[in-house]
Structure 1
Amino acid sequence: MINNFFRIVYRNMLRNKGFSIINITGLVIGMAATMLILLWIQNEVSYDQFHVNKNRIYEVWNRVSVEGNVSCWNTVSAPAGPALEKDLPEVERVVRVNNNKSQLLSHGETRVMKSGNIVDTGFLQMFSFPMLEGNPLTALNDVHGVVVTERTAKSLFNNEDALGKIIKVGELGNFTITGILKDLPNNTRFDFDFLLPWGNLTYEEGQNLGWSDNSTPTFVMLKPNVSYAAASQKARDLKQRYSDEAKTLKWQFFLYPLDRWRLYSSFTNGAEDNGGRGTFVKLFSIIAAFILIIACINFMNLSTARSEKRAKEVGIRKVIGAQKSSLIGHFIGESICLAFLAGCIALFVVQLCLPAYNQLTDKQLFIDFTNVYAILAFIGFILFTGLLAGSYPAFYLSSFQPIKVLKGTFRNANTVLTPRKLLVVVQFTFSTILIICTIIVKQQIDYARSRNIGYNKEHLVYQFMTGDIPKNYALIKNELLSSGVASSVTKTNSPLTERWSNGWGQNWEGKDPNDKTSFDRYLADEGLGVTAGLQFTQGRDFDLQKFSTDSTGLIINESALKVMKFKDPIGKTVDDLGIQWHIVGVIKDFILTSPYEPTRPILICGAKSSFMRFSVMQIKLNKQIAIAENLRKAETIFKKYNPEYAFDPRMVDQEYARKFENERRQSILAGLFGGLTIFISCLGLFGLATYMAENRIKEIGVRKVLGASVLSITGLLSKDFVKLVTISFFVAAPVAWWGMDQWLQSYSYRVGIQWWVFVLAGLLSITIALLTVSYQSVKAAIADPVKSLRAE
């Protein structure tokens, strides 16, 4: 019985080689693309889900209303951690994590640059990172202890036992390795090579800024069986008990659950919105569904198109007693066999594509063949695909009446063709939607890229001030300038592409008492204007050689000037955190953070700032010399004055380009999978055109004998497909417009949706369809009518 079933499946495949190849190819591409997307989705939704106490872990967020606008962000004051642990009986543990920072780790002659965090001692008890050596309960108890990852231990000690060894961590001193963690998985928000206890946090890194600072990521773990609502209610007004400013602003805390960190951490006016990576997951879930459905529609269309060739088989089976249910089971079984064959080939294709796909998505995706759940998921995927692809053909073929079949009168043009036309419309609707979406996503990226960033990023590099650079800054700067490597040099608190400080509470003459504007803060030495190419509209740059008072000088941008409403801003004073700053210049707005958001008011403070420190050298390279040659000479200079640390220059234009990385990947993936969708649709269209040409070969022969031209016959065979694709365009256009309009709402700085995008997508769809069917149409039109009519 089983052998006979497989023999029939095999013979049917051989008897219809062309259609079988088209069917299997479409399923292979569709299943492979779907598997790749599902691997990406599985990685996204699994972020930090491996922690044992995941259902009890929350991140502490701020919520504060300023001039009617409610802002939310996920860093709070450093003292908030101990206060939460003390005041909330529902809290079992609180952990603070300072911002990730690179340090030079050394042991003997071995030196490596690694990034790490300073954390509270309970970090490894809250988060379940597997420890290979050491005790997670005590590893961070000793202020002179350090926990490293396996990769870090190997880079310092090769294969020697690292536990208990002493290493030097930057300028912080010597530390004993008290634990070795398994290398972090790629589905966690944390990214560190080592961990130090909280007691090693220095004043400059923000430990003692008190309740006025809000830059410390803080996590709480609730006790088992504690009400989240009750704990969140108690945490809400905690800051107001300790800070008068918080009381005035009605400052609130809220607890954000771990399972929403990766996908949903996006808020608009105080409420969680539809932004975040969850949007990407939904988008690519839809694309995966589109691709698989289109591949299955191909199977349905070609299976029903070939129904005549199997009609007598169905009739004979029914005459000898086959029930409809057994026929349905037989045909679905055939489709599952084909899906299994296609699935195995697709799995091989996925394995071949994974290295390039991982590079494109910046992930480390893989299929774990040792995981029984992965194997079961693969089998389930094949069964689902087989059922989806084979269900309609099975019910359709099994519905033939044996008397009509054996007489040859079973065909009814309306009932046979209508579902097939509908399926073609569905296919090209999905394809056209993806074409439109891909064009608009690319437009949005290009629109943001073309925005005036407000400074000149060409030939501009920066180097973090590690090791001895701070004390040797003047010597390094002079040598860079005198050697001709650089045309100008300055130092700042952060790169030009990042915001490291912001806040409100500033005062100035004529300020509205109700004004609670938040300003971005930036610290700069003299020469920032010429180094970065900032455009001054009033006043001047800092110049400590001519004006010693410029240490308390202030440069503001046009957005800040609009807030302060000064008619003549030069010389006006602004009080910020106890320092009286005097305005020396006004610059045009420049993009410090996201190119998709409006520019914010910025205060560029002079060297006297007590709440920021210089940590970045900004270097404008000599344009007359090749960049590679300049960097080679610069490395020699930095090695001379900072021998223990590697020279690690960052190109500002490359760092700025990274701001488009998510959208760029989204665009490439949408374009790639959109192209595959169109290709699969065209495979099906090609198969249908072949079937149609075979079915109408005698009609074409008669028409040619009666004088019909090749062009008229080609048009006759193609027009029905063009009609279907045109209908699909009118269905796809409003759906795509609505989807893209919703997507663009997450960007303040966004492109408008233009009519010509839809016209272009429609023309592309029709052109692709015409090119696909034209081969078979022309082939049929130029065939010798004598051969087609010989049987008559």
Structure 2
Amino acid sequence: MKIEPPKLAQKLFDWYAGFAKVDDLRGDMDEWFYHNAKTKSISIARRIYWKQVLSLIFSYALRKRKRNSQSGIYSSNAISLSMIRNYIKVAMRNLYQYRYFTLLNAFGLAIGMSISLLLISMYGYISTSDNFHTNGDHIYTIISKKTEGFEEGNFASSPIVLAEKLKEEFNDAREVVRVNASFEGEVVREKENIHIHGYFVDQSFLSVFTFPILSGNMESALSKPNTVVLTESAAIKFFGSIDVVGKVIELKEQGSYEITGVLKDYSKNTHFKFEALVSYATLPPTQSLSIDQWTEYRDQFIYVLLKDSAPIKGLQSYLSQIEKNIYSNSSVKVNFSLLALDEIITSDLYNALGPKWETSGFIVFGAIALLILLPACFNYTNISIARALKRSKEIGLRKTMGGVKSQIFFQFITETVVICLISLVGACGLFLLMRDEFQSMLVEASVLDLSITLKTATLFVAFALLTGLMAGLFPAMYFAGLNPIEALKNKVSSRALSGMRIRKGLTIFQFALSFCFILSLIVFGRQYRTLLNFDFGFQKENIVNVNLQEVKPELLKTELEKLSVVQSVSLSSGSPGLSNSTTWVNTTDKDSVQVSQLFIDSDFLENFKLKLILGKNFPEAVSADERYCIVNEQFLINNKIALEDGVGRTLLVDSMEIQIIGVVKNFHYAPPQIPIGNFIFRNNPVYYTQANVLVDVSDVFGTFTMLENSWQKLSDNTKLEAAFFKDELNDSYQVYRLLLKMAGFLGLLAISISILGLLGMVVYTAENRVKEVSIRKVLGASAFGITMLLSRDYLKLIIWSIAIGIPLAIGIYETVFTRIPDYHANLTVLDVVLGAFGLISLGLITIASQTYKTALSNPADTLKTE
């Protein structure tokens, strides 16, 4: 048997050594192997050989030889200012020389970076929330975790009675501030009442938080009951001036409040949102001995200003002791914890004060931004490698003249950073275009400022530098490691690059994502159209809903019926398909069941064309006592009551016995995503909130003018609040419009990046197969045949992406649309075919733009260099 060193160990050593000169080391190891094989056993000789290989792999000597093999004899690790200028100059020359690919890279990175700029600007603004308070570092709010049976909830609120204990027993608290967020009302004015909202607060609120006071005494402004401090904007809104200290505002059904101060308008970047601060003494005193005060505490908030040297652990220990003392014998358990002032606005808590920007939302937004950015960076890498293969001689020459690996790496990173900074300009332009539309989709858009400040501009530049490092890392590392001799001979092996499955996998993933977006757009669009034309089972055209406000229902109805443009008027507590309340109903032989309800008059069913299939309508004369109700078919079905037995049955509703006098055909009393369930119509004028007016729409302006004139006869202090019922229904689908916008915009970005990625791979192939194409043309191949040859592999990638994208799209469809029972748009085979056709068409156009140009090249121009 032939005795040889272990081949695996030899291959491992050769692979690790690379182009380093290690013949002497290899020879010594082989010589020792044969010596050991004679003096010892073969297994021991092989084990010693492996030990020597592993020892050399981890040795400094071999690392030094590898490093020296990457550079010439004049190499130096120094990076001077002149060298950096040279890198930038070379980078700009290359960018100008390959202008097409520069624009391609810059555009791709700009698209990928644009979404991230929205996230950065949003986070940069919110991260500075409440930082204008002088004592902010020492202010904490007490939050609670409430457990009642199997239900748990984390709340921003906490019992006010806890604040009273803190004031009495906890010495490390400099101030304890109580805030009750239930202050709301209407300021009585001559023409129309004006809404006002704010908080009941302790006098110490103004000394703990930094809200500058323009007029009034900060020390005593909120010390007495029924005193109020207004913001500057609120004072101007109510009085047209800020000189209002000493004046009185009258709140409807709440009494008078004396204005004792005016605050300067505060920054929007805070979790507080108020127009007025009312003295806490205005509220009735709490009974701290009652357990209800410790378990029911909605809209109650506690802030603690600790002394400068007080540890936060002391306050947390005190709160833990309170939990044990108060809730030991209670069925409700509450745990208290502390939250720093600057963390309040990003907390995921119920009953929070002011606007909320949950951390979970930032995580989702960040994932979307990363999903768009990473493919753009990989695309840049692909295109850069395809173009940089032509620069192997430049790299070899630099290394021969003394360039080391770190300098070559720094050169490529510099080029990437330069193009990323160019891309940042385009990304900022996209950011400015998207900003307003993005803010309009947010619930709390009014308190968000996405202006480009010095801080956000700095973050943008830092992000561009980080993106440049991320996008240019792989090509910089690869080309910095090239052997100078191989590079000068232009024999750089591209096998590692062309065989990279990750590049093909990335392309498949990108196009699968694009395919999902295309299908989502198709289905979202059909769903939106379905809802706009959805048959609710009642009439929705030509009905104007008029808010009653303080006008008596019967007076308004009588006045409106006099108008020639009005066909009929009904009264109700809400609109079908939009709003309804719930209650519990007891039948004589069943347990209580939950039902949806709407209060209507006798004209409502006719006005909305609801079909009464059994029994009769409500009587026109309204009784002082509620005696009758009308149910839907589903109520009888769910309660297993025969249709013919329903009329005349008595129900117990809100401790009253009322009789079923009619049954209406099933209709959608709630939005379509809510299935039809138990529903009853009731007849009680006390609950009427609007008039439903069936009008002639031939002259809409004239109709509303007549409605306005009739309204003014009944109410001089308030404006007419009226809108077409169909418009209100359509507005309720705002979420679908937002989803369409988001899916469309993100789909456009994903498709654009996919196309750029595909283009990068096609360019790479075309650059490396140009001589093969020339030889094929010389041998008689046609341009069309060559184009098909070069395009075939990429077409397969697109087909694979569609095959993967179909189950992904079905998964998204099953998760989102099937939540709408029976009323959702179906994902059809035609949708898949249309989506696939669109994606393949885009892919073929992209591929053909490069492959056909390569197929048309002149063989003489290419082959003359060989």
Q: TM > 0.5 between the two?
A: yes
Q: How many residues align?
A: 742
1:476 and 2:556 matched? yes
1:720-759 matches, cutoff 5 A: 720-738=793-811, 741-743=814-816, 751=824, 754=827, 756=829
Change (3 A) 1:58 1:454: farther
Residue in structure 1 matched with residue 731 of structure 2 by the alignment = 658
Distance 2:301 2:690 in 1: 37
* Partner of residue 391 from structure 2, selected from 306, 310, 330: 310
1:155-166 matches, cutoff 5 A: 155-166=237-248
Q: Quote how far apart the aligned CAs of 1:562 are.
A: 4.3
1:485 and 2:565 matched? yes
Residue in structure 2 matched with residue 767 of structure 1 by the alignment = 841
* Partner of residue 629 from structure 2, selected from 539, 551, 554: 554
3-state SS of paired residue (1:643): coil
Indicate if the aligned counterparts of 2:177 and 2:201 stay in contact, CA closer than 8 A.
no
Q: Quote how far apart the aligned CAs of 1:105 are.
A: 5.0
Residue in structure 2 matched with residue 586 of structure 1 by the alignment = 663
Amino acid at match of 1:486: V
1:530 and 2:606 matched? yes
Residue in structure 1 matched with residue 485 of structure 2 by the alignment = 403
3-state SS of paired residue (2:674): coil
Indicate if the aligned counterparts of 1:26 and 1:680 stay in contact, CA closer than 8 A.
yes
Residue in structure 2 matched with residue 570 of structure 1 by the alignment = 647
Distance 1:126 1:754 in 2: 60
Q: Quote how far apart the aligned CAs of 1:386 are.
A: 0.9
* Partner of residue 18 from structure 1, selected from 100, 108, 112: 100
Q: Quote how far apart the aligned CAs of 1:13 are.
A: 1.0
1:456 and 2:536 matched? no
3-state SS of paired residue (2:403): coil
Residue in structure 1 matched with residue 404 of structure 2 by the alignment = 323
Distance 1:195 1:59 in 2: 24
* Partner of residue 389 from structure 1, selected from 456, 460, 471: 471
* Partner of residue 382 from structure 2, selected from 285, 301, 304: 301
Indicate if the aligned counterparts of 2:345 and 2:358 stay in contact, CA closer than 8 A.
no
Indicate if the aligned counterparts of 1:90 and 1:226 stay in contact, CA closer than 8 A.
no
Distance 1:450 1:126 in 2: 57
Indicate if the aligned counterparts of 1:597 and 1:748 stay in contact, CA closer than 8 A.
yes
Change (3 A) 1:689 1:43: same
Q: Quote how far apart the aligned CAs of 1:458 are.
A: 2.4
Distance 1:150 1:497 in 2: 41
1:608-619 matches, cutoff 5 A: 613-614=687-688, 616-619=689-692
Q: Quote how far apart the aligned CAs of 1:557 are.
A: 3.5
* Partner of residue 518 from structure 1, selected from 570, 575, 594: 594
Indicate if the aligned counterparts of 1:60 and 1:220 stay in contact, CA closer than 8 A.
no
Residue in structure 1 matched with residue 78 of structure 2 by the alignment = none
Indicate if the aligned counterparts of 1:542 and 1:606 stay in contact, CA closer than 8 A.
yes
- 1:756-785 per-residue CA deviation (whole Å, 9 max, x = no partner) reads 355554443322111222223333444555
3-state SS of paired residue (2:614): strand
- 1:644-681 per-residue CA deviation (whole Å, 9 max, x = no partner) reads 11112133333333333234313311220220121122
Indicate if the aligned counterparts of 1:544 and 1:550 stay in contact, CA closer than 8 A.
no
Amino acid at match of 2:852: V
Residue in structure 2 matched with residue 153 of structure 1 by the alignment = 235
Change (3 A) 1:175 1:302: same
Q: Quote how far apart the aligned CAs of 1:292 are.
A: 0.8
Q: Quote how far apart the aligned CAs of 1:312 are.
A: 1.1
* Partner of residue 673 from structure 2, selected from 575, 596, 603: 596
Amino acid at match of 2:655: G
3-state SS of paired residue (1:543): coil
Provide the alpha-carbon RMSD of the alignment. 4.7
Change (3 A) 1:104 1:643: farther
- 1:204-248 per-residue CA deviation (whole Å, 9 max, x = no partner) reads xxxxxxx9xx9994334387724677777888899xx8xxxxxxx
3-state SS of paired residue (2:662): strand
Distance 1:62 1:528 in 2: 44
Change (3 A) 1:650 1:315: same
1:465 and 2:548 matched? yes
Change (3 A) 1:569 1:399: same
Listed as ranges, the gaps of 5+ residues in structure 1 are 203-210, 242-249, 268-275
Higher alpha-carbon deviation: 651-660 or 184-193? 184-193
Q: Quote how far apart the aligned CAs of 1:9 are.
A: 1.5
Q: Quote how far apart the aligned CAs of 1:197 are.
A: 7.2
Residue in structure 1 matched with residue 141 of structure 2 by the alignment = 56
Residue in structure 1 matched with residue 582 of structure 2 by the alignment = 502
Amino acid at match of 2:726: D
3-state SS of paired residue (2:646): coil
Distance 1:294 1:527 in 2: 61
Amino acid at match of 2:114: A
Listed as ranges, the gaps of 5+ residues in structure 2 are 1-81, 171-175, 285-291, 305-311, 352-356
Distance 1:680 1:292 in 2: 9
Indicate if the aligned counterparts of 2:245 and 2:259 stay in contact, CA closer than 8 A.
yes
1:642 and 2:715 matched? yes
Distance 2:632 2:324 in 1: 40
Q: Quote how far apart the aligned CAs of 1:289 are.
A: 0.9
1:259-338 matches, cutoff 5 A: 281-338=362-419
Indicate if the aligned counterparts of 1:459 and 1:627 stay in contact, CA closer than 8 A.
no
Q: Quote how far apart the aligned CAs of 1:7 are.
A: 1.1
Q: Quote how far apart the aligned CAs of 1:718 are.
A: 1.6
Distance 2:733 2:205 in 1: 34
Distance 2:822 2:326 in 1: 35
Residue in structure 1 matched with residue 287 of structure 2 by the alignment = none
Residue in structure 2 matched with residue 778 of structure 1 by the alignment = 852
TM-score scaled by structure 2?
0.73
Q: Quote how far apart the aligned CAs of 1:74 are.
A: 8.9
Distance 1:561 1:198 in 2: 51
Indicate if the aligned counterparts of 1:300 and 1:392 stay in contact, CA closer than 8 A.
yes
3-state SS of paired residue (1:541): coil
* Partner of residue 518 from structure 2, selected from 418, 435, 454: 435
Q: Quote how far apart the aligned CAs of 1:449 are.
A: 5.4
Q: Quote how far apart the aligned CAs of 1:113 are.
A: 3.8
Change (3 A) 1:714 1:345: same
Distance 1:20 1:356 in 2: 29
Distance 1:457 1:47 in 2: 45
Indicate if the aligned counterparts of 1:235 and 1:253 stay in contact, CA closer than 8 A.
no
Residue in structure 2 matched with residue 343 of structure 1 by the alignment = 424
Amino acid at match of 1:657: N
Residue in structure 2 matched with residue 667 of structure 1 by the alignment = 740
Indicate if the aligned counterparts of 1:339 and 1:382 stay in contact, CA closer than 8 A.
yes
Indicate if the aligned counterparts of 2:647 and 2:662 stay in contact, CA closer than 8 A.
yes
Indicate if the aligned counterparts of 1:121 and 1:140 stay in contact, CA closer than 8 A.
yes
Change (3 A) 1:667 1:251: farther
Q: Quote how far apart the aligned CAs of 1:304 are.
A: 0.6
Q: Quote how far apart the aligned CAs of 1:733 are.
A: 4.2
Q: Quote how far apart the aligned CAs of 1:707 are.
A: 3.8
Q: Which of the pair has more CA radius of gyration?
A: 2
1:5-404 matches, cutoff 5 A: 5-39=87-121, 56-58=141-143, 97-98=181-182, 103=186, 106=189, 113-114=194-195, 116=197, 130=211, 132-133=213-214, 144-170=226-252, 172=254, 174-180=256-262, 193-194=275-276, 217-221=298-302, 225-226=315-316, 281-361=362-442, 363-364=445-446, 365-370=448-453, 372=455, 374-404=456-486
Amino acid at match of 2:709: T
Indicate if the aligned counterparts of 1:575 and 1:581 stay in contact, CA closer than 8 A.
yes
Indicate if the aligned counterparts of 1:336 and 1:383 stay in contact, CA closer than 8 A.
yes
Residue in structure 2 matched with residue 207 of structure 1 by the alignment = none
Indicate if the aligned counterparts of 1:522 and 1:604 stay in contact, CA closer than 8 A.
yes
Distance 2:822 2:362 in 1: 23
Distance 1:396 1:653 in 2: 63
Change (3 A) 1:619 1:181: farther
TM-score scaled by structure 1?
0.79
